Structure formats: C-alpha cells, structure tokens
Amino acid sequence: MYRPGSRKRTLGFTGLVVALFMGGVSWAAIDTGVFEGFVHHIAQQITRDKVDFAVAESCTTWFYEQLRKSPGARPDVKRLSSSVAEGDPDAHPCAGRYPGINEAREAFAHTQSTLSLSLTFYQLALVADRDDDERYDAGELRDMLASLNVAPLQGDQSLQLLAKLKGKFDDVRETVEFTTLTDSMQALYNKGYRFTQADQTAMGRVTGES
C-alpha cells in the first residue's frame, strides 16, 4: 500500500546512495602512476641529500685538518686563523662554502639528519606497496594517506593525490619531523604492512648497496 511520504523517503535514500558513490575520491580511477611518481620524487631528493652530506662531511674533515696544522688552534673556534688562510693559496672550496668549522659541523649534522629522513620516507613509501607490485591499489593508497594524516578532497585524481604525497614529504623533510614518519610506519604495521625482501632490494638501489 502506498503511504504518503514514502516517495520522499525513497528519493532521499536514492540521493544518499548517489552522493556516496559520487562524493569523495574516485578510487577506482586511480592509476599506477602515484607509486612511481612518489618514489621517484623521494629518490631524487635522496640523490641531492647524499651530495650535500658528502660535501659537508668532506669540508668538516678539511677544516679539522687545517686546525691541526695551526699551532694552538681549538676545534671550537669560529674561523680559521689568518696563518691557516694564508697557507691556503688555492682558496679551497670549503673555505668559500662555510665561514668556519662550526658552520661546517652544523651542515654535517643537518645533512646527515635530512638524508636519514629521506631514506626512511623512501622505506615508508615501499612498505605501503603491500604486495610489492610497484603500484598503490585503492586500499594501499587510502592507508598511506591516512597514516600521514593527508585528507583527499572530493574529485581528487591521481595527479592531485601524488601532489599531496609529495607535498607531505617536502614538509616533513623541511622540518626534519621524524615523529610523523615513525607514527605513519607504525600505523601501517598495525594494519599488517611489512618491510619485505623486495623492499630491501629497492632500498639497496637508492643507497648504492646493490
């Protein structure tokens, strides 16, 4: 028997169903490019971080060597003594890059931290690829975004989601915020994700160990 208001309730329910299917992210439309683009972005940064770290490490060593050649110099001095500077007619690049040993040591510590963070983030990106097929399926991508507290918006597609992940990585690296990484990794591990042998092999490629 038809009852007054039943049509309105039916239309309301139908509208809710349509809204659920139309709203949010169209996960089924997400292609394989998110994983590839994300790990590539991190790998590029790792390459830059390795160079910066090597330079800072080399210059710190160089400054210490100069100080050892300078009688009475202390490791914590702000700048090299004039006698050391005068004894370096070739104007070593490190002398032009850093004002003194303190700055070189600070750069060494900072680049060591940022390189470590980039490598750890790369590990996180690999772990989120649960079945090691070098792509994020809908479930993996949802879990990855949630673990990093990145909220997708209605209508977001692959490019937008990739941009959000890149932006999150850049922000975390800028602040050297390891807590975000450890919390994200723990969230994935709580859902059964693991660092696999395939992940280890992929890490070896970016660290130069394989």
Residue 16 lies in a domain: no
Question: Could you count the other beta carbons within 10 Å of the beta carbon of residue 23?
Answer: 10
Residue 196: which residues within 8 A CB-CB, separation 6 or more?
A: 132
Whether 20 is in a domain gets the answer: no
Instruction: Tell me the residue range of the domain where 200 lies.
Output: 31-141+155-207
Residue 171 lies in a domain: yes
Q: How far apart are CA 34 and CA 202, in angstroms?
A: 17
pLDDT tens per residue across span 171-182: 999 999 999 999
Q: Mean pLDDT in the chain?
A: 83
What is the DSSP code string of 102-162? HHHHHHHHHHHHHHHHHHHHHHHHHHTSTT-SSS--HHHHHHHHHHTTPPPPTT--HHHHH
Instruction: Give the per-residue pLDDT at 179.
Output: 96
Question: Do 70 and 81 touch, CB atoms closer than 8 A?
Answer: yes
The pLDDT of residue 142 is above 50:
yes
The answer on pLDDT for 61 being more than 70 is yes
Residue 90 predicted with pLDDT over 70: no
Domain contains 189: yes
* Confidence label for 210 from pLDDT (cuts 50, 70 and 90): low
Q: 24: pLDDT confidence band, cut at 50, 70 and 90?
A: low
In the predicted structure, residue 6 carries a pLDDT above the cut 70: no
Residue pLDDT, tens place only, 28-38: 556 668 999 99
pLDDT of 87: 53
Nearest to 118 by CA among 165, 54, 170, 162: 170
Residue 133 has pLDDT above 90, yes or no: yes
Q: Per-residue pLDDT averaged across 61-72, rounded?
A: 83
Number of residues assigned to the chain: 210
User: Based on the structure, what is the number of domains in the chain?
Assistant: 1
Percent of the chain with pLDDT over 70: 74
Task: Tell me if 146 is assigned to some domain.
Answer: no
In-domain check, residue 149? no
